[in-house]
Amino acid sequence: NAGVTQTPKFQVLKTGQSMTLQCAQDMNHNSMYWYRQDPGMGLRLIYYSASEGTTDKGEVPNGYNVSRLNKREFSLRLESAAPSQTSVYFCASSEPRLAGVKETQYFGPGTRLLVL
């Protein structure tokens, strides 16, 4: 099992450029998430997908869009990058919700994005 994989690992963009961050998981998890991590801010949720075919906004969705392509894949798109979107982006997935068992999150290695 590869777990959660993310591509690319690093990216430099110019202001106004667009890009898509890819995420895939091979653990058959229903729920997937995109976070950004900034110094002193901890993790902030951008979007999440509770199950295939559904997506919902998190705490900081502005400037981003997502696609839950299938159960395995969840992509994050920046349509017009801004310097404020310089961050480390993490994708995560979580176990199915079973009676009495609450989700553990499994994280990818992250994408480091610099917007100039």
Residues that bind another protein (CB under 8 A): 4, 31, 40-43, 45, 48, 50, 58, 90, 92, 94, 97, 100-110
Smaller CB separation from another protein, 14 or 99: 99
> What minimum distance in Å lies between the beta carbon of 15 and another protein?
26
DSSP symbol at 83: G
For residue 112, the cross-strand partners are: 10, 88
> What minimum distance in Å lies between the beta carbon of 40 and another protein?
7
Cα distances from 37 to residues 30, 64, 100, in angstroms, run 23, 15, 30
> What minimum distance in Å lies between the beta carbon of 104 and another protein?
5
Smaller CB separation from another protein, 10 or 14: 10
Smaller CB separation from another protein, 77 or 97: 97
Smaller CB separation from another protein, 18 or 51: 51
> What minimum distance in Å lies between the beta carbon of 73 and another protein?
17
Characterise 69 by phi-psi region: left (phi > 0), alpha (psi -120 to 50), beta (else): alpha
Could you give the maximum distance between any two Cα atoms of the chain, in Å? 47
Instruction: Find all residues with CB under 8 Å of 99, minimum gap 6, and list them.
Output: none
